[in-house]
């Protein structure tokens, strides 16, 4: 049995060497064989030369390097495409995903699970981040069809058939958390204590997180559009009821002119709602635009996987 470890790396020169030593040491006690598939996501630092060195000294290590930064989603996709394992583990390069947990994953995999998902605790996270995450998951689980769990990320083991199923999903806007949940199969979750990043810094700014959250909401189905329709209907009913009330009052008391504030507030509020809804429709149209272009998810600049890079992915 072959286990593949897929590692997306973006500017990880400080830690990638230690990561490799750590993982190989940890997995040396494994029964089966293992391979490491590093994906250099267009790093600007020495990540690629270091990966080349690692690959030169360790035949179990292979790498794919992108022509520029295409994002972690693209890097994971490339890693899954190049992984040959019967089971594939996706792991961050920053040692925030403890390599020793792979044993636990494999034990659960042996029990017949197709996805073994590691769920991190939120130890060390800022309170604000924990709370926004909680609110976000509450909201998103009401909007998308698949169940998303707080603390669950990309650190997981996937069986071969799960990987193949995910590779069948060729959409351009990839929201892996959702894709993993979408393919289904038998899955199980276990919890681990969150480790604080030791070197380098997280590539997630608040703005990036916000956009990622929005992607999650919009890239899965059109329920937000449905919500927009309902909101419109509610607003129309409220307006009709208010109109009826005004007419009633006018009939009983005669016409009175005040109402400037009401008018102003109503007009601005409705304009705001319309802008948001227009933006929402625009988001979906934008997504369609990206999908119909059928551009490759990434371009490969260098690789030693020995596997032919499909024409569409060649730089
Ligand atoms: N990563 C990547 N491409 C990017 C950003 C990040 O391949 O554009 C990789 C990064 O090298 C790391 C993993 O994705 O291995 C998680 O990134 P990070 O640690 O910055 O995210 P966090 O742990 O804060 O969620
Ligand atoms: Mg990290």
Q: Is the pLDDT of residue 197 over 70?
A: no
- Please give the number of the atom of ligand 1 that sits closest to the Cα of 153: 25
Confidence of residue 77 (pLDDT cuts 50, 70, 90): very high
Return d(Cα 91, Cα 182) in angstroms, integer: 20
pLDDT in the model for residue 301: 85
Ligand lying closest to the C-alpha of residue 129? 1
- SS3 for 231? helix
**Residue to probe by mutation, ligand 1, list 6, 92, 205, most atoms within 8 Å of CB:** 92
pLDDT score at 223: 77
Mean of pLDDT values over 234-263:
81
- What is the number of the ligand 1 atom nearest to the C-alpha of 201? 20
Question: Residue 96 CA: which ligand is closest?
Answer: 2
The closest of 109, 298, 283, 131 to 188, measured between CA atoms, is 109
**Which protein residue's CA is at the shortest distance from atom 18 of ligand 1?**
202
Pocket (CB within 6 angstroms of ligand 1): 8-10, 12, 41, 69, 71-72, 75, 92-94, 96, 202-204
User: Quick one: average pLDDT of 264-274?
Assistant: 80
Distance 92 CA to ligand 2 centre (A): 6
What is 140-159 written as a DSSP string?
A: HHHHSSS---TTEEEEEEEE
**Residue by residue, what is the 3-state secondary structure of 155-219?**
EEEEEHHHHHHHHHCCCCCCCHHHHHHHHCCCEEEEEECCCCCCCCCCCCCHHHHHHHHHHHHHC
pLDDT at 308: 64
* pLDDT at residue 21 is higher than 70: yes
> Does the structure show a pLDDT above 70 at 13?
yes
Report which of residues 302 and 112 the model is more confident about.
Answer: 112
| Ligand 1 centroid to residue 286 C-alpha, Å | 25
295 pLDDT above the threshold of 80:
yes
Contacts of 20 (CB under 8 A, 6+ apart): 36, 54, 58, 61
Task: Name the DSSP letter for residue 180.
Answer: H
Q: For residues 281 and 40, which has the higher predicted lDDT (pLDDT)? A: 40
Top mean pLDDT of 27-36, 80-89, 222-231 is at 80-89
pLDDT of 200: 63
- How remote is the C-alpha of 268 from its chain's centroid? 35
- Cα-atom radius of gyration of the chain, to the nearest Å? 25
CB 29 within 8 A of CB 265: no
- Mean pLDDT (whole number) for 186-197: 80
Q: How far from chain centre, in Å, is Cα 34?
A: 26
Q: Output the pTM of the full model.
A: 0.77
pLDDT of residue 79: 94
% of the chain at pLDDT higher than 70? 94
Q: Is the model more confident about 260 or about 160?
A: 160
Instruction: Identify the band that residue 242 occupies on the pLDDT scale cut at 50, 70 and 90.
Output: confident
Residue 231 has what pLDDT? 83
Q: What pLDDT, on a 0 to 100 scale, did the predictor assign at position 203?
A: 66
Ligand 1: which of 192, 203, 204 to mutate, judged by most atoms within 8 Å of the beta carbon? 203
Over residues 106-120, mean pLDDT: 91
Q: What is the pLDDT of residues 25-42, one digit of tens each?
A: 888 887 778 899 999 998
Tell me the two tokens of residue 230. 């309902």
| pLDDT average, residue stretch 237-247 | 83
| Model confidence band, residue 9 (pLDDT cutoffs 50, 70, 90) | very high
Measured in angstroms, how far is the CA atom of residue 11 from the centroid of ligand 1? 9
Q: What is the mean pLDDT of the chain?
A: 84
Confidence of residue 137 (pLDDT cuts 50, 70, 90): confident
pLDDT score recorded for residue 250: 82
The bound ligand whose nearest atom lies closest to the alpha carbon of 201 is 1
């Amino acid at each position: 049995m072959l286990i593949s470890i897929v590692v997306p790396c973006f500017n990880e020169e400080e830690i990638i060497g230690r990561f490799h030593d750590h993982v190989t040491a940890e997995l040396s006690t494994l029964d089966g064989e293992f391979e490491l598939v590093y994906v250099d996501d267009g790093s600007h630092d020495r990540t690629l030369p270091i990966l080349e060195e690692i690959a030169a000294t360790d035949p179990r290590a292979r790498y794919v390097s992108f022509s520029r930064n295409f994002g972690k989603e693209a890097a994971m996709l490339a890693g899954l495409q190049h992984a040959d394992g019967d089971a594939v583990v996706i792991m961050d390069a920053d040692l925030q995903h403890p390599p020793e947990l792979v044993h636990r994953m494999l034990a659960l995999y042996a029990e017949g699970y197709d996805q073994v998902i590691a769920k991190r605790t939120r130890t060390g996270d800022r309170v604000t981040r924990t709370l926004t995450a909680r609110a976000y998951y509450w909201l998103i689980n009401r909007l998308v069809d698949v169940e998303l769990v707080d603390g669950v990320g990309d650190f997981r083991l996937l069986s071969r058939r799960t990987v193949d199923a995910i590779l069948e999903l060729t959409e351009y806007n990839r929201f892996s958390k959702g894709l993993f949940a979408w393919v289904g199969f038998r899955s199980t979750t276990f919890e681990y204590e969150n480790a604080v990043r030791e070197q380098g810094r997280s590539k997630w700014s608040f703005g990036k997180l916000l956009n990622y959250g929005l992607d999650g909401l919009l890239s899965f189905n059109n329920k937000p559009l449905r919500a927009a329709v309902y909101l419109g209907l509610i607003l129309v009913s409220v307006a009709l009821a208010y109109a009826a009330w005004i007419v009633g009052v006018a009939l009983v008391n005669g016409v009175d002119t005040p109402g400037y504030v009401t008018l102003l507030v109503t007009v601005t509020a409705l304009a705001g709602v319309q802008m948001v809804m227009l933006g929402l429709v625009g988001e979906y149209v934008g997504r369609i635009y990206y999908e119909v272009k059928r551009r490759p998810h990434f371009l490969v600049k260098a690789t030693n996987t020995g596997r032919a890079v499909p024409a569409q992915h060649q730089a």
